[in-house]
A and B are shown apart, each in its own frame.
Chain A
Amino acid sequence: MGAILRALEGKRVAVVVGSGGVGKTSVSAAIALSRAMEGGNALVCTIDPARRLATALGLGTLGNAETPVPEEAFARSGLAPRGRLHAMMLDVKRTWDDLVTRHAPDAATRERILGNRIYRQVSGALAGSQEYMAMEKLYELSTERDYDLIVLDTPPTAHALDFLEAPDRILDFVGNETARKLFAPAIDAGRLGARLLQAGTGFVAKTLSRFTGSDVLNDVGEFLGQFQGMYDGFKERAAAVRTLLTRPEVGFVLVASPGPLSVDEALFFHDHLRTAGMPVAGSVANRVIPDLWLPGGALPGADALAAALAAALAAALDTARSGPPADGPTPAPTADLASRLALTLGQHQAFARADAREVERLRRGCPGPHAAIPLLDGDVHDLSGLAAIARHL
């Protein structure tokens, strides 16, 4: 067991963060898989719209339901888990609807909100909505289920901090005190525009309605009004999520690919988590190109490789002469093979050295447990691929 998995021993929640395209989903699933292999009951929750995890786990759809990974999938990969592995894909809209249902004071309010077109926008298309609902779902799962480990694969945010700030940002939308006071009477009267005019802000309202149309003003007002009774419940829950994330049973795992932008993002997130008092379990550099030139120093040129090829060929011919007769002549290396080899080794090492520099930067910037996963032969799209990742964690 590597440093990352050791750091997660005894944790009940692992939150996997990093910029898009670094392999968060695979790392998340590998962490959950390894807990299941050791006898735990593990769940990996992904939010990804492209169902990458579903592909990786050989499942059709995940749709907000915790689905056990079928035994056949393990058998196909030659794995015999002592525990259980579950997977789910977050359905953002469903999670919003569940949340509204949970907090609505009565059925009529619930139906009005679920039917409000502003609500449909907020719950569906609003930026940050995915991030907020990921947190919400994590809280629900961690308080209402008895998994030994829940691994949350976070959405591929352009900005890592969206994930932490989204709940507050969205709750500000629906719960601003000043706006509620300003809009409340109009909401009751169903005439928000008129209220703004009465408030002596006539030209503000006029300009705004030129900007958005007065019906939009009214829609938003209505939505805010309907949310009035529920806001406190939402706010409390968001605060509880935040508290959960600072508890020692939670561990954040930072994942980066060995590129400058991805490492920058991970370091930025690391500092922010530390400031916010959220426990960092470790950092992972994913898909690192291995250093093949272990002798170090200058790389061989085409001449040196041509000589080595000739020597290898001669040795092979010797073997052939002393052994049974060969079926045909050993093909002679073409003259340019040595230069193609030199070119290929040179390019490989240029990538490997650049990767090593970035891995080192990540390690220094995120002190603590660290893992580097080499670029594996082949894509990770099944359980044996995930197990291969887990071996490096």
Chain B
Amino acid sequence: MSGSLLLDRRLVVVTGKGGVGKSTVAAALALLAARRGKRVLVAEVDARERIAPMLGGRPSGPVVRQAVPGISTVNVDPRHALEEYALLVVKVRAIYQAVFENRVVRFFLRAVPSLAETLMLGKILHEARAEDRGRPRWDLVVVDAPATGHAVQLLGVPAALLDTVPAGPMRRDAEWMQALLTSPERTAVALVSLPEEMPVTETAELDARLGGELRLPRGPVFLNAMPDARFRGDERDRLRELSGTAPPLGPAARAAVLQSDRRERCVAQADRLVALLGRPALPLPLVSADRWGRRALERIADAMDGSV
């Protein structure tokens, strides 16, 4: 990162391996930005909508909608993105219907490679640069992007179009999209990982691809679900001896040993990640957002405060 805070960017893309807690981190970032008085939009990409419910609001569907005060959400899907984009281009709904709802044309548009990704990314980036009466529509747009491979596909769309598409409207769109995505002042890609062997490996590879072939400005790497240091080494040794004893002490000692061993492995993986990345990672506490909702998000936002 180049000095400024992550949440002072206009666009923050959150991605990582499947199942590491991307949506949780995206929602917590939005919560923290809203606490700082920012007007925030969180965009999910053709997903089973999770952000708004996690925050305690109602799902928004494909149309931007306020989930809770300060935070709006949208679930971008290709069909609605096409309709919106086409209406921007042709202006008149009757023409849109005559042209774009024509069966052959629908087929034709599906055959245009990566059109779905282009439209979804285009809609999100459009929100990020939109202004209403001379004022940016959003202070911050957080993208809850798909997992690794699909995220690279999505974020690589403008560059791929610039490679393959000759002059024309799609190319012009690809140009401004790529400019916004690669601007270190306006954009950052934040990664989410877990302190485990394979997520760490995948995160380091993804980080290298984002910075390498995609040339995207990289933001922080969050290390989710980091267990806290709870037992001293001598306590753990003692508890390990006790973990075979009768209840209540045996099971409690066993739980403590599991927690403590897990902590040790996680610390080792966290160190490995930092070594692979060549920059620090931000640990987030182990909470279960699926089960605890808003309260868990507030805790994670607290843990992020001061670093983003």
Are B17 and A121 in contact (CB-based, < 8 A)?
no
Residues of B within 8 A of A117 (CB): 163-164
Q: Tell me the residues in window 163-192 of chain B with beta carbons closer than 8 Å to chain A beta carbons.
A: 163-171
Is A182's beta carbon under 8 Å from chain B? yes
Are B90 and A210 in contact (CB-based, < 8 A)?
yes
Are A308 and B249 in contact (CB-based, < 8 A)?
yes
In whole Å, how far is A44's beta carbon from the nearest beta carbon of chain B?
A: 15
| CA of A56 to CA of B202, assembled, Å | 13
Residues of A within 8 A of B298 (CB): none
| CA of A292 to CA of B290, assembled, Å | 22
Are A55 and B90 in contact (CB-based, < 8 A)?
no
| CA of A50 to CA of B57, assembled, Å | 35
Nearest A residue to B260 via CB reads: A344
In whole Å, how far is A360's beta carbon from the nearest beta carbon of chain B?
A: 16
| CA of A336 to CA of B240, assembled, Å | 18
Are B48 and A261 in contact (CB-based, < 8 A)?
yes
Chain A interface residue bracket vs B: 35 or more
| CA of A220 to CA of B109, assembled, Å | 10
Are A377 and B202 in contact (CB-based, < 8 A)?
no
| CA of A377 to CA of B253, assembled, Å | 16
| CA of A304 to CA of B90, assembled, Å | 73
Nearest A residue to B104 via CB reads: A178
Segment at the interface with B among A17-25, A64-72, A93-101, A277-285: A17-25
Is A237's beta carbon under 8 Å from chain B? no
Is A185's beta carbon under 8 Å from chain B? no
| CA of A308 to CA of B249, assembled, Å | 6
| CA of A203 to CA of B92, assembled, Å | 13
Residues of B within 8 A of A215 (CB): 165-168
- Given the interface pairs A121-B164, A220-B112, the reply to whether A305 lies near B248 with Cβ below 8 Å is yes
Is B114's beta carbon under 8 Å from chain A? yes
In whole Å, how far is A16's beta carbon from the nearest beta carbon of chain B?
A: 14
- Given the interface pairs A21-B147, A341-B256, the reply to whether A312 lies near B249 with Cβ below 8 Å is yes
Question: A207: which of B90, B153, B231 is its contact (CB, 8 Å)?
Answer: B90
Residues of B within 8 A of A293 (CB): 247, 251
Are B160 and A125 in contact (CB-based, < 8 A)?
yes
In whole Å, how far is B235's beta carbon from the nearest beta carbon of chain A?
A: 6
| CA of A52 to CA of B99, assembled, Å | 45
The SS class assigned to the B binding surface is helix
Is B86's beta carbon under 8 Å from chain A? yes
In whole Å, how far is A194's beta carbon from the nearest beta carbon of chain B?
A: 16
Residues of B within 8 A of A212 (CB): 112, 168-170
Is A348's beta carbon under 8 Å from chain B? yes
Segment at the interface with A among B3-11, B135-143, B193-201: B193-201
Is B216's beta carbon under 8 Å from chain A? no
Are B255 and A348 in contact (CB-based, < 8 A)?
yes
Residues of A within 8 A of B102 (CB): 204
Per-residue contact bits, chain B 52-68, to A (CB 8 Å; 1 contact, 0 not): 00000000000000000
Residues of B within 8 A of A308 (CB): 248-249
Nearest A residue to B113 via CB reads: A121
In whole Å, how far is B172's beta carbon from the nearest beta carbon of chain A?
A: 9
Interface residues of B (CB under 8 A from A): 17-20, 46-48, 50, 86, 89-90, 95, 98-99, 102-105, 107-108, 110-114, 116-117, 146-150, 152-153, 156-157, 160, 163-171, 196-198, 201-202, 205-206, 230-231, 234-235, 238-239, 242, 245, 247-249, 251-256, 258-259, 261, 265, 269, 288, 290-291
Q: A215-B165, A216-B112 are in contact. List 13 more A-B contacts (CB 8 A).
A: A20-B147, A22-B19, A50-B148, A52-B198, A52-B201, A124-B160, A178-B103, A203-B99, A260-B290, A300-B252, A347-B259, A348-B255, A381-B197
Cross-chain pairs A/B with CB under 8 angstroms, 17 sampled = A22-B19, A50-B205, A121-B114, A125-B114, A126-B113, A158-B147, A210-B169, A211-B89, A213-B170, A213-B171, A223-B111, A341-B252, A341-B253, A344-B255, A349-B255, A379-B265, A380-B197
Q: Which 4 A-B pairs have the closest CB atoms?
A: A213-B168, A21-B19, A20-B18, A121-B113
